[in-house]
Structure 1
Amino acid sequence: MRALTYQGPYRVEVENKPDPRIEHPQDVILKVTRAAICGSDLHLLHGLVPDTRVGCTFGHEFTGEVVETGREVSQLKKGDRVVVPFNISCGTCFYCQRGLTGNCENSNPASDVASGVFGYSHTTGGFDGGQAEYVRVPFADVGPMKIPDDMDDESVLFLSDIFPTGYQGAEMGEIKGGETVVVFGAGPVGLFTMKSAWLMGAGRVVAVDHVPERLAFAAHYAKVETVNFKEVDDVVLHLKDMFDGRGPDVCVDAVGMEAEGSRAHRVLGLGLKMEAGAPTVLTWCINTVRKGGNVSIVGVYGPPWNFIPIGTAMNKGLTLRMNQCNVRRYMPRLLEHIRSGRVDAKAIITHRFSLEQAPEAYHLFAQKRDGCIKCVLAPHGHA
């Protein structure tokens, strides 16, 4: 099959790889119909994630058609179309039984942190991802959700990760109605966080970024106020002033590592690898939110440690909540939001490419060129 492969920092190629095969009786093989490039894939591309091995295939957001099933698979059959959560979960362990599928202990037994993840280095199990013509999906009766016959693949593609992640980001902020919310990051996850905040009854939502095209997209798509942090003297003071000097009720970090910040943070975080991504946005969240407020973290960080103002968080009485998204628990509810028209998920797709064009797509997405918000690949033919 043809598949995207990692060739080292800043280098990916599309080449021939062996077709995936059934390795366990609960596996299925999918013919990939759509695969998205995620901001988290850029962390891999830039060499920021440990144990990302040459030759591995990225891609944890994908839909596909079942072409082969293991003998113990009972919920899927050949020909079914499915959307697949990015985290691989067994459905039976301590965490899966509690709905914490992002923390499954059987899909990534070498780690006490995250579950197994498609296409995200050997620190999350070493599973090849879906930016390929075919992909193996373990525990196929647990994660994949059938796509309704009256819906196309692109309409539900983002149920694999970014819509549930954005929704969980808003949910962890404990939005019950009327709260003021600031979302740092106007990329795809941030956009879905904004949309989800409105679904939960937020009274006011503000997006913070520094890319003018992304802020304009957020204003149009998510109907939010916007702040370009490069156009204000002090983003924290500016935001606090927008909310009576106290700050908003909720701040959401939808950025994570690679956030733009001080030179010291960039040197420590990106150069010397002493920080797992400069925690600039997380610091802004803690300093911006009102006392007694909530900080929700869905931006991706990694080991070993970060410089975070935890003393400020303690003295302000903040609640900090964070996790990899427990995708499967949200998929049915969010499917209904898409079906009802409350959220047009595929409207964030700005660029479509064939699989052979994947390196070009990565370059465009990483550079945020041409108004790029979200890239989607069509592994079989042109998008």
Structure 2
Amino acid sequence: MKAMTYRGPYRIRVEEKDIPRIEHPGDAIVRVTLAAICGSDLHLYHGLMPDTRVGMTFGHEFIGVVQEVGPDVRNLKVGDRVMVPFNIYCGTCWFCARGLYSNCHNVNPNATAVGGIYGYSHTCGGYDGGQAEFVRVPLADVGPQVIPDDIDETDALLMTDALSTGYFGAQLGDIVAGDTVVVLGAGPVGLFAAKSAWLMGAGRVIVIDQLEYRLAKAREFAHAETLNFAEYDDIVVELKKQTDYLGADVVIDAVGAEADGNLIQQVTATKLKMQGGSPVALNWAIDGVRKGGTVSVLGAYGPIFSAVKFGDAMNKGLTLRMNQAPVKRQWPRLFEHIRAGYLKPSDIVTHRIPLDDIAEGYHLFSAKLDGCIKAVVVPSAN
């Protein structure tokens, strides 16, 4: 099969790899029909994620058709169209029993915090991802779900991570009616978090970014107010002005260790803008939320060697909530919102990239070229 493979920082290519096989009785092999490039993939692409090995296939957002099932699989059959959450989880451990699928205790021998994630380095279990023509799906009776007939396939694709994660971020904010919600970052997850905030009763939603085309999308798609942080000496001061000098009720960090920059920036974090490996966005969230407010953290963070304002968070009485999204837990409510017309996830898709051209797709997305917000990858077998 053809598959995207990692060759080192900023170096990926499409190669011929063996079609994956059934390795355990609960596995399924899925022929990928659509995948996507996620902002989190850029951490891998830029070489910022530990233990990203040469030859790995990325891609934790994908849907497809079941090609083969192991002898223990009961809930899927060959030919089923399935959506696959980015979390790999067992469904039976202490954490899974409580709906904490992203913290599964049994699928990742390399970490005690996060469970397994498709295509996200050996730190997250070493599972190959879906930016390929075929992918092995372990524990296939637990994660994947047959795509309902009335759900568009691109909408289903975006539910495998970006939409579910943005919705989860708004949930973590414990938004109550009338709240002012600020979202840091107007990428796909930030856009979905902003849109979801309205569904949870927000009275005002403000999105902060530095790219005008993404801010325009935030206004169009999420009906949010926008601020370009590059236009202000101190965006936190401006945010305070915008909120009667109190701060927002909820701030959602959808940036994380911004998928840009290099290891030197990660170590020093000297620049005073959002950049690779620094906690700038997290500190803006802590400074920009009101006393007693809530900070929801969705952005992916690796090791941070510069200071997070934890003392300020404590003294302000903040609630800090964060996790990788337990994706499948969000699906029943998201299906309802999509069917009711409140959400149309595929509206944020700007590019459809053939798998053969995925290196160009990564370049477009990484360099923020051609107005790229969300790129869908189409395997050449389809």
Q: What are the superposed Cα offsets for residues 317-345 of structure 1, whole Å, 9 maximum, x if unpaired? A: 10000001111111121122122211000
Shift of 1:304: 5.7
CA distance in 2, matches of 1:266, 1:23: 38
Equivalent AA in structure 1 for residue 98 of structure 2: R
1:322 is matched with which residue? 322
Change (3 A) 1:97 1:305: farther
2:341 is matched with which residue? 341
Equivalent AA in structure 1 for residue 72 of structure 2: E
2:53 is equivalent to residue 60 of structure 1: no
2:51 is matched with which residue? 51
CA distance in 2, matches of 1:306, 1:129: 31
CA distance in 2, matches of 1:327, 1:218: 23
1:133 is matched with which residue? 133
CA distance in 2, matches of 1:148, 1:187: 27
Equivalent AA in structure 2 for residue 179 of structure 1: D
CA distance in 2, matches of 1:295, 1:157: 28
Shift of 1:148: 1.2
CA distance in 2, matches of 1:354, 1:103: 33
Equivalent AA in structure 1 for residue 69 of structure 2: T
CA distance in 2, matches of 1:123, 1:335: 32
Shift of 1:91: 0.2
CA distance in 1, matches of 2:295, 2:333: 24
Shift of 1:232: 1.2
Shift of 1:298: 0.4
Change (3 A) 1:260 1:62: closer
CA distance in 1, matches of 2:164, 2:365: 21
Shift of 1:270: 9.9
Shift of 1:167: 0.8
Q: What are the superposed Cα offsets for residues 43-92 of structure 1, whole Å, 9 maximum, x if unpaired? A: 00000001000000000000010010000000000010011010101000
Q: Does structure 1 conserve the Cα–Cα contact (< 8 Å) formed by 2:19 and 2:134?
A: yes
Q: Where do 1:13-28 residues align within 5 Å? A: 13-28=13-28
2:122 is matched with which residue? 122
Which 4+ residue blocks in structure 1 deviate beyond 4 angstroms?
Answer: 263-267
Q: Does structure 2 conserve the Cα–Cα contact (< 8 Å) formed by 1:65 and 1:82?
A: yes
Q: What are the superposed Cα offsets for residues 119-168 of structure 1, whole Å, 9 maximum, x if unpaired? A: 00000110000000000000111111110123331121111011111111
2:199 is matched with which residue? 199
Equivalent AA in structure 1 for residue 373 of structure 2: I
Q: Where do 1:262-281 residues align within 5 Å? A: 268-269=268-269, 277-281=277-281
2:29 is equivalent to residue 6 of structure 1: no
Q: Where do 1:1-383 residues align within 5 Å? A: 1-258=1-258, 268-269=268-269, 277-303=277-303, 305-381=305-381
CA distance in 2, matches of 1:152, 1:191: 19
Equivalent AA in structure 2 for residue 145 of structure 1: Q
Equivalent AA in structure 1 for residue 118 of structure 2: F
Change (3 A) 1:233 1:39: same
CA distance in 1, matches of 2:64, 2:259: 33
Equivalent AA in structure 1 for residue 159 of structure 2: L
Secondary structure of 1:29 counterpart: strand
CA distance in 1, matches of 2:192, 2:258: 20
Equivalent AA in structure 2 for residue 22 of structure 1: I
CA distance in 1, matches of 2:291, 2:175: 16
Range with bigger deviation, 323-332 or 62-71: 323-332
- Consecutive unaligned residues of structure 1, counting only runs of 5 or more, are none
CA distance in 2, matches of 1:326, 1:270: 34
CA RMSD, Structure 1 to Structure 2 (Å): 1.9
Secondary structure of 2:64 counterpart: strand
Equivalent AA in structure 1 for residue 89 of structure 2: S
Q: Does structure 2 conserve the Cα–Cα contact (< 8 Å) formed by 1:205 and 1:224?
A: yes
Shift of 1:248: 0.7
CA distance in 2, matches of 1:205, 1:149: 33
Equivalent AA in structure 1 for residue 316 of structure 2: K
Equivalent AA in structure 2 for residue 152 of structure 1: D
Range with bigger deviation, 330-339 or 171-180: 330-339
Equivalent AA in structure 1 for residue 160 of structure 2: S
Range with bigger deviation, 153-162 or 41-50: 153-162
Q: Does structure 1 conserve the Cα–Cα contact (< 8 Å) formed by 2:40 and 2:259?
A: no
Q: Does structure 2 conserve the Cα–Cα contact (< 8 Å) formed by 1:276 and 1:303?
A: no
Shift of 1:303: 2.7
Range with bigger deviation, 360-369 or 150-159: 150-159
Compute the TM-score of the two structures, normalised by the length of structure 1: 0.95
CA distance in 2, matches of 1:260, 1:149: 38
Range with bigger deviation, 212-221 or 106-115: 106-115
CA distance in 1, matches of 2:303, 2:90: 25
CA distance in 2, matches of 1:40, 1:183: 17
Q: Does structure 2 conserve the Cα–Cα contact (< 8 Å) formed by 1:33 and 1:380?
A: no
